[in-house]
Amino acid sequence: LDQADLNIIQARNSITTANSQLARAIGRDEVTILKVDESIPNIATPTAVNFESLALATPQRTQAVLREKSADTTITLAKSGYFPTLGVSGTYGRQDDEFFPRDDSWSVGLVVNVPIFNGGRDYYATQSAISNRAAVGSSREDLDRQLVTTLSTALARLTEAKKNLEVAFSFLKATEMRAEIGRGRYNNGLLSFDDWDLIESDLISRQQAHILSQRDYVTAEAAWENALGTGSIK
């Protein structure tokens, strides 16, 4: 009985903690208990998967490619310091020795700047940009390998969690039938109290195992969708 009371206290505390985490995840300041009415989502587990193609479609990969393009642009800007610049200016006005001038005047100027030596600023800026581009490219290649590993691991865990849920459900149904038979035999005096208690305890254990397998399956689904860069919440 004491163990049952402890289990109830732990369950209530877990509900409170989970409620706070859920409220924070969905951006709500809830003090009351949130209720989840929807059933556990059941996504189709893919069988033949090209992890390389899936990795290319992830948001992390897209960000890495954009960083590479940004690094390429930085190199172009750094190299622009080597090239001459051309500027054109023009003026138009009137001049005269009277207060209201009547003679038109205009001028056009052409300025060409040729960089010769600026203390190596352009050279070192270019070399720095090239080194940064190499580092960004290496990071993207490492990310590609990491994404493939993450996706394959997430799918393996999802497959295992789904199978474990099916096994736990089968055991639960068998235990429920056994418990129902045991109650009938116990009520008719055909089963001892100790044997009946063992059957009921086994049923409770199977129920808890089934709930845990449901939790593990939902967690595995979330990890798989997170690896893909998608989600169930729209």
What length does the chain have?
Answer: 234
pLDDT tens digits in sequence order for the chain, 234 residues long:
677 788 889 888 888 888 888 888 778 876 677 777 767 667 777 778 899 999 999 999 999 999 999 999 988 888 777 677 777 877 877 666 666 666 667 777 777 776 666 657 777 888 898 999 999 999 999 999 999 999 999 999 999 999 999 999 999 999 999 999 999 999 998 989 999 999 999 999 999 999 999 989 989 998 998 999 886 554
Amino acid at 89: S
pLDDT tens per residue, range 134-171: 999 999 999 999 999 999 999 999 999 999 999 999 99
pLDDT tens per residue, range 41-56: 677 777 788 999 999 9
- What is the C-alpha to C-alpha distance for residues 227 and 129, in angstroms, rounded to an integer? 31
Measured between alpha carbons, how far apart are the two ends of the chain, in Å? 44
Entry pTM: 0.73
- What is the C-alpha to C-alpha distance for residues 221 and 82, in angstroms, rounded to an integer? 54
